A and B are shown apart, each in its own frame.
Chain A
C-alpha cells in the first residue's frame, strides 16, 4: 500500500501546490465538502425523525389515541439511555458544545457525538417530545467538519475555524435557509465577521442547503402567504407583539433556568424518570393539542393558512411553552429553535387575530403577524436579533415585512435583555458548568484604541519620518511598534497632522496598570 502511494506521490509531487491550490482555497474546498456531508446528514436526520414519527405517533395514535401519552415518554427514555450510556459526549446543547469545541478544544468535536445526537434526537423528536432538530443538526455539522479537518490534518488555527463552518452547514440545511444558518453562527457561535470566516461559512451553508434540496426537494420550511402592511398604524401592533414576545421570552429563560437548577438537586435515579415524565405530560397535553408534539412545523404551516382562530393560537402557544419547558428542563435531547418559532408564531398570530378583530384601523390577517411573532420570540430567547430579522425575511421572501420585523424583533430583544441579562445559551453553559463567552459579551467588548491612550500635543509638531500610528488603531498594534521605538507619533488620517504621542507608560496608564502598581505600593 505504502509503495503504491509512494508511486503516486512520485508522479504527483506537492499535488495541492501543483494544482495551484493555496491554503485558503484548500480551506474553502473543504468547506464545500463539509457542506455536502452536513447536507446529507441532515437529509438522513430528517427522514429518520419522520420515520420514527410515522411509526409511533402516526400508526399507533391513529388506532389507539392513548398511545400518544406513552410514545413521547418511551422516546425520551430511549434517547436519554443513548446519551447517558452509549454516547455520553452527545449530551448538552449543540450550540454550547460547538462553542466549547472552538474555545476549549481547538475545534475538536468527537465523532461519536454525530451518531449519538443523530439517534437520540431522532428518537426523542420523532416520538413527539416538544423539541427541534436544528440545534442537533448544528452540532452534527460541527462534528462532521471536525472529523474532516482532522482527516486532512488542518492547522490548529484552521481547526478552530472548521467547527463553525460545519455548524453553519448543519443549521442552514435544517432550516433550509442558508443566510439564516450563516448569520446565526456568525452572530451567536463565533461572533467573528472576518472575510475568510464568512466566505467558508457561506460556502458550506449554501452547499449544505443545495444538497438537502437535491434530495428532499425545494420545499420551503414554511409555506408563507403573501404579506402586506395594510395600514401604517399596524406598526404599533407589531411593536406590541415585540413587547409581548420580549416579556415572554425573558420569562421563558427564567423558567428554564429555575427548573433546570431545581432538577439538578434531585437524586441521580431521577435522571431517567424526569424525561419520561416530561414526555408523558407532553403526550397528555397532546391529547387535546396534538399540534404541540414534535417540532411542530406542520402546525405552523396549518396556522399560516388560517386553520386556527386567534384564541386557539394563543392556547397552542401556551401549551407549547409548557411542554417545551417540561421536555427541555428534563434533559431530553433536542433543540429549542423549532419550539421557539412555534411559540412566537402562534403568539404573534393570536395577537394579530385579536388586532384584526378589534384594531380601529385596517389590520392584516393573523397569518402576517405569525411571521413577525416567530422572529420576536427567537430574538428574545437566543439574543440573535440580526439572525431573527433575516430568518423571517428569508422565509417570507417579502421586503415589506422588514420594517415590522425590525421593530418587533428589536423591541423583543432589548426588552428580554433588560428583564433577564443572561442569554439563553450562556445560562445553559453556566448550568452545565462551562464558562463560555456569550456572543453578546463579545459584541459589547470594546478594545482600547490608540486615541484612548495617547498624550495630545500642546503645540504643533512636525511629522517624524518612519513609524507612526493612527488614532483608531488598536493599542495591541501600537505595542508591537513600541517594542522597537519608545515614543511614536499619532497622526490624523485626514490631515496627516500630528495629534499626539504614545509611549509605553501611556499604554500602561490606559490599561490602569500604573494606578494598580501605585495602589499596590
Chain B
C-alpha cells in the first residue's frame, strides 16, 4: 500500500470514528434537551389551559379564549385545548374561527361525535340547514368516548329541535321513532316523544307510544292524557273519553284534562257514527251536523257574496235538509255527512281558517273525511 493511500485511509478512519462519537454525543444532548423542551411546552400549555378553564367558569369567555389560544401555541396537537377554544369561540359567536378549529379537529377524527355536534351547532347558527342535519346525524352515529348512548341521545334531541324549528315533519317523525326505540325508562321523555309524534301527525305511532307508557306506568297522568289526545285525534272519541277519565281520576285538578274530557264528550254527543245509535238518531245527528256547518258558514260570510259554486252547494244542502226525512236509508245519511264535510272544507277556504270555536265539529268531520 502506498504511503498516500495509507494516509488517506488512516485519516478517514479517524474522521469516521470522531464523527461517530460526536454524532452520538449530539444525539444524546439534543434528545435530553428536546425532551426537557417538550415537557416545558406541555407544562406551559397546561397552565394556560387551566387558567382558561377558570376564566370560563367565571364567565370571562374573552379571557378564556386568549388563554386557550396560548395553550394551543405551546401544544397545537392537543385536541382538548382546541375543542375548549372552539367551544368558547362558539359561545362568543365567533363562528369563522370556531369552525376553522373544529374542521381541523374533524380532519383528524372525522367520526368524533362531539366535534360533529359542535359543527352542527355552528352550521345551525349560520343557517346552513343541509350541513346541520348531516353534522347532527354524524354526531348521532359518531364516536363518543364516554357515556356513548346518552351523548348520542342528547345529540338526537338537538336534531329533533332543529327539525321541529324548520318544520321538517317527515324527518322529525323518523328521528322521534329512533329516539323512542333507544329511550330508557324515563316516562317523561317517552311522553315528550309521544306528544311530538301527535303534534306532527304520526297519530298511530303516538297511540302506540302512550299505550305502552300507560301499560308500564298506569299511574302516570301524562300517559293517559297523551293516549286520550291520540285517540281523540284518531277519531276514537269513546276511547279518548275513557283515557281522560282515567287521567282525571289520577289528577282531578288538571284543567287541561277537564277541557279535553269536555271536548271528547262534545264530540261523542254529535258524532253520527257512535255505536248503539238507532238509524233515526244517526240521521238526526247528520242533519244537525249539516245545520251546524251551514250556520258557521252563514256567520262567517255575513256581508260577503258567496261564489256561485258555493252558493249552489249551500242551496243543495238546504234542499237536502228541507226534504222528506229518510232515516232508514243509509245513502241519505251518507249524503248529509258528505255535504256537511264538503261545505266545512269550503267554509274553511272561503272564510280563511277553520272556526276554532267548534273543535268537536271539526274533529267529527275530520273523522268522517277519513272514513
Binding site for B on A (CB under 8 A): 5-6, 8-9, 12-16, 33, 36-37, 40, 43-44, 47, 50-51, 54, 148, 151-153, 215-217, 219, 223, 225-226, 298, 301-302, 304-307, 365, 367
Alpha-carbon gap, A252 to B14, bound state (A): 50
| Contact yes or no, A302 B76, CB < 8 A | no
Q: Which residues 247-287 of B have a CB within 8 angstroms of A?
A: none
Taking A14-B9, A47-B37 as known contacts, 20 extra A-B pairs with beta carbons closer than 8 A to each other, sorted by chain A number, are A5-B13, A6-B10, A9-B9, A9-B13, A12-B9, A13-B9, A14-B1, A15-B9, A40-B27, A152-B15, A152-B16, A215-B30, A216-B34, A217-B77, A219-B76, A219-B77, A223-B104, A226-B107, A301-B76, A305-B101
| Contact yes or no, B5 A14, CB < 8 A | yes
B91 in the interface (beta carbon within 8 A)? no
Of the listed stretches B18-26, B142-150, B155-163, chain A binds B18-26
| Contact yes or no, B103 A225, CB < 8 A | yes
Alpha-carbon gap, A44 to B30, bound state (A): 7
| Contact yes or no, B100 A8, CB < 8 A | no
Partner of A15, one of B13, B44, B101: B13
Name the A residues within 8 Å of B37 (CB-CB): 47, 50-51
| Contact yes or no, B96 A306, CB < 8 A | yes
Name the B residues within 8 Å of A307 (CB-CB): 69, 97
| Contact yes or no, A305 B97, CB < 8 A | yes
Alpha-carbon gap, A323 to B326, bound state (A): 102
Name the A residues within 8 Å of B33 (CB-CB): 44, 47
Please name the residue on chain A nearest to B73 by beta carbon: A298
Alpha-carbon gap, A12 to B1, bound state (A): 12
B12 in the interface (beta carbon within 8 A)? yes
Name the B residues within 8 Å of A298 (CB-CB): 73
A-B contact pairs, 26 of them (CB 8 A): A8-B13, A9-B10, A12-B9, A14-B1, A15-B12, A33-B23, A37-B26, A43-B34, A47-B33, A50-B41, A54-B40, A151-B19, A153-B11, A153-B15, A215-B30, A219-B76, A223-B104, A226-B103, A304-B100, A305-B100, A306-B96, A306-B99, A306-B100, A307-B69, A365-B96, A365-B100
Interface string of B22-66 (1 = CB under 8 A from A): 010011001101100110110010000000000000000000000
Alpha-carbon gap, A347 to B127, bound state (A): 30
Interface string of B105-125 (1 = CB under 8 A from A): 001000000000000000000
Alpha-carbon gap, A8 to B14, bound state (A): 11
With A33-B19, A219-B76, A306-B100 as contacts: A153 and B8 at CB distance below 8 Å: yes
Name the B residues within 8 Å of A8 (CB-CB): 13
B6 in the interface (beta carbon within 8 A)? yes
Name the B residues within 8 Å of A47 (CB-CB): 33-34, 37
Please name the residue on chain B nearest to A42 by beta carbon: B30
For A40, A50, A301, which residue has the most chain B Cβ atoms within 10 angstroms? A40
| Contact yes or no, A367 B30, CB < 8 A | no
Q: Which residues 188-207 of B have a CB within 8 angstroms of A?
A: none
Alpha-carbon gap, A367 to B44, bound state (A): 28
Alpha-carbon gap, A16 to B9, bound state (A): 8
Binding site for A on B (CB under 8 A): 1, 5-6, 8-16, 18-19, 23, 26-27, 30-31, 33-34, 37-38, 40-41, 44, 69, 73, 76-77, 96-97, 99-101, 103-104, 107
Alpha-carbon gap, A47 to B312, bound state (A): 94
Name the A residues within 8 Å of B8 (CB-CB): 153
Alpha-carbon gap, A88 to B30, bound state (A): 27
| Contact yes or no, B26 A40, CB < 8 A | yes
Alpha-carbon gap, A47 to B29, bound state (A): 12
Alpha-carbon gap, A268 to B38, bound state (A): 43
Partner of B76, one of A6, A148, A223: A223
| Contact yes or no, B96 A152, CB < 8 A | no
For A14, A16, A151, A216, which residue has the most chain B Cβ atoms within 10 angstroms? A151
Alpha-carbon gap, A302 to B27, bound state (A): 33
| Contact yes or no, A225 B104, CB < 8 A | yes
With A14-B5, A15-B9 as contacts: A43 and B30 at CB distance below 8 Å: yes
Please name the residue on chain B nearest to A353 by beta carbon: B96
For A219, A226, A307, which residue has the most chain B Cβ atoms within 10 angstroms? A307
Leading 5 A-B pairs by shortest Cβ distance: A306-B96, A215-B34, A305-B100, A306-B97, A151-B15
- Give, as a whole number of angstroms, the nearest-CB distance from B20 to chain A: 9
Alpha-carbon gap, A298 to B9, bound state (A): 49
| Contact yes or no, A367 B18, CB < 8 A | no
With A305-B101, A306-B97 as contacts: A16 and B19 at CB distance below 8 Å: no
Alpha-carbon gap, A152 to B9, bound state (A): 10
Name the B residues within 8 Å of A37 (CB-CB): 23, 26
Alpha-carbon gap, A226 to B102, bound state (A): 11
- Give, as a whole number of angstroms, the nearest-CB distance from A184 to chain B: 24
Alpha-carbon gap, A307 to B27, bound state (A): 38
Name the A residues within 8 Å of B77 (CB-CB): 217, 219
Name the B residues within 8 Å of A54 (CB-CB): 40, 44
Alpha-carbon gap, A302 to B34, bound state (A): 25
Alpha-carbon gap, A33 to B31, bound state (A): 17
Name the B residues within 8 Å of A153 (CB-CB): 8, 11-12, 15
Alpha-carbon gap, A306 to B103, bound state (A): 12
Please name the residue on chain A nearest to B106 by beta carbon: A226
Please name the residue on chain A nearest to B26 by beta carbon: A40
| Contact yes or no, A148 B19, CB < 8 A | yes
Name the B residues within 8 Å of A14 (CB-CB): 1, 5, 9
| Contact yes or no, B14 A215, CB < 8 A | no
Name the B residues within 8 Å of A36 (CB-CB): 23
Alpha-carbon gap, A5 to B104, bound state (A): 58
For A13, A215, A219, which residue has the most chain B Cβ atoms within 10 angstroms? A215
With A9-B13, A33-B23 as contacts: A40 and B30 at CB distance below 8 Å: yes
| Contact yes or no, B14 A5, CB < 8 A | yes
Name the A residues within 8 Å of B103 (CB-CB): 225-226
Name the A residues within 8 Å of B6 (CB-CB): 9
Partner of A151, one of B18, B69, B97, B101: B18
Partner of A215, one of B18, B31, B96, B107: B31
Alpha-carbon gap, A37 to B19, bound state (A): 10
Please name the residue on chain A nearest to B95 by beta carbon: A306
- Give, as a whole number of angstroms, the nearest-CB distance from B230 to chain A: 47
Alpha-carbon gap, A219 to B6, bound state (A): 47
Name the A residues within 8 Å of B104 (CB-CB): 223, 225, 305
Alpha-carbon gap, A306 to B92, bound state (A): 14
Name the B residues within 8 Å of A304 (CB-CB): 100
Name the A residues within 8 Å of B12 (CB-CB): 15-16, 152-153
